[in-house]
Amino acid sequence: MRRSSAASKKKSDSITSSTTDLFRSGPSKATSKEMDRIDHLFNQYANTSSNLIDPEGIEELCSNLQVPHTDIRILMLAWKMKAEKQGYFTQEEWRRGLKALRADTLSKLKKALPELEKEVRRQSNFADFYAYAFRYCLTEEKQKSIDIETICQLLDIVMGSTFRAQVDYFVEYLKIQNDYKVINMDQWMGFYRFCNEISFPEMTEYNPELAWPLVLDSFVEWISEKQA
């Protein structure tokens, strides 16, 4: 059904959610009916005693969404929700995320995922998402760094599709080097900048005298030696 531009400003429970809608419709605009449905969906996955969706619940959600458990889109969903603790969604976070996605049913949620991916991959958002991915993996209270193995997995998930070569090489390097057992946020963000600013595998712009994290200096050196 066609709509006039004036009419599209009103609330609609149309199944099609356009890009513009996602922008303009914020959390404040959900109706109470939507909220009920969102809460209802929450309760389907939440652990009744803790009132949180726990890892088990998330796994179930994933299977219902037909999205692998380790897929980046789940991480994106968590980002949209601004979820704080890895493996758990609180009701508030759930509401926040689904309201923003205008998804109050499972099928709507599923259909919202491609748009969500597009949104996240926008240059203006991706850096934020990338940083979020790191923080999300910090499980202990004063934890500042993440172990190499987890980092490798995370890199694969978050950057694998866009920077395949860099990720593969960097992961290989991280596994064979001995200097670092953990990676901190600064080094993590450094890799993102590296992928965006330095051509690969030529790496002609790379200058170790600048403030690149040392781990990247060593990484670049290692690659150069391999290529020689």
Partner 1 sequence: VQESFGNQSFRMERKTIDLEQGWDYMQTGITKLKRILEGLPEPQFDSEQYMMLYTTIYNMCTQKPPHDYSQQLYDKYREAFEEYINSTVLPALKEKHDEYMLRELVKRWSNHKVMVRWLSRFFYYLDRYFIARRSLPPLNEVGLTCFRDRVYNELHSKVKDAVIALVDKEREGEQIDRALLKNVLDIYVEIGMGQMERYEVDFESFMLLDSASYYSRKASSWIQEDSCPDYMLKSEECLKKERERVAHYLHSSSEPKLVEKVQHELLVVYANQLLEKEHSGCRALLRDDKVDDLSRMYRLYHKIAKGLEPVANIFKQHVTAEGNALVQQAEDTATNQAANTASVQEQVLIRKVIELHDKYMVYVVECFQNHTLFHKALKEAFEIFCNKTVAGSSSAELLATFCDNILKKGGSEKLSDEAIEDTLEKVVKLLAYISDKDLFAEFYRKKLARRLLFDRSANDDHERSILTKLKQQCGGQFTSKMEGMVTDLTLARENQTSFEEYLGNNPAANPGIDLTVTVLTTGFWPSYKSFDINLPSEMVKCVEVFKGFYETKTKHRKLTWIYSLGTCHLNGKFDHKPIELVVSTYQAAVLLLFNTTDKLSYNDILTQLNLSHEDLVRLLHSLSCARYKILVKEPSTKTVSQTDSFEFNAKFTDRMRRIKIPLPPVDERKKVVEDVDKDRRYAIDAAIVRIMKSRKVLGHQQLVSECVEQLSRMFKPDIKAIKKRMEDLITRDYLERDKENANMFRYLA
- φ, ψ (nearest 5 deg) of residue 56: -60, -45
Smallest distance from the beta carbon of 166 to partner 1, in angstroms? 17
| The pairing of beta strand 89-90 with beta strand 145-147 | unpaired
Compute how many other C-beta atoms are within 10 angstroms of the C-beta atom of residue 17: 17
The helices-and-strands tally (H runs, E runs) of the chain is: 11, 4
Q: Residue 90, interface with partner 1 (CB under 8 A)?
A: no
- Helix, strand, or coil here: 147? strand
CB 117 within 8 A of CB 65: no
Which is nearer to partner 1, 1 or 210 (by Cβ)?
Answer: 210
Residue found by looking up tokens 């748009």 in the block: 115
Min dist. Cβ of residue 28 to partner 1 (A): 29
Sole binder of partner 1 in the list 9, 40, 144, 164 (CB under 8 A): 144
List 213, 219, 220, 223, residue binding partner 1 (CB under 8 A): 213
Q: How many residues touch partner 1 (CB under 8 A)?
A: 14
- Nearer to partner 1 (CB atom), residue 21 or residue 217: 217
Using the contact rule CB under 8 A, the part of the chain among 8-16, 73-81, 107-115, 212-220 near partner 1 is 212-220
Backbone phi, then psi, for 221, in 5-degree steps? -60, -45
| Shorter beta-carbon distance to partner 1: residue 171 or 185 | 185
CA dist 71 and 219 (Å) reads 27
Minimal distance, residue 129 CB to partner 1, in Å: 16
Give the interface with partner 1 as residue ranges (CB under 8 A): 144-145, 184, 186-187, 189-190, 193, 209-211, 213-214, 217
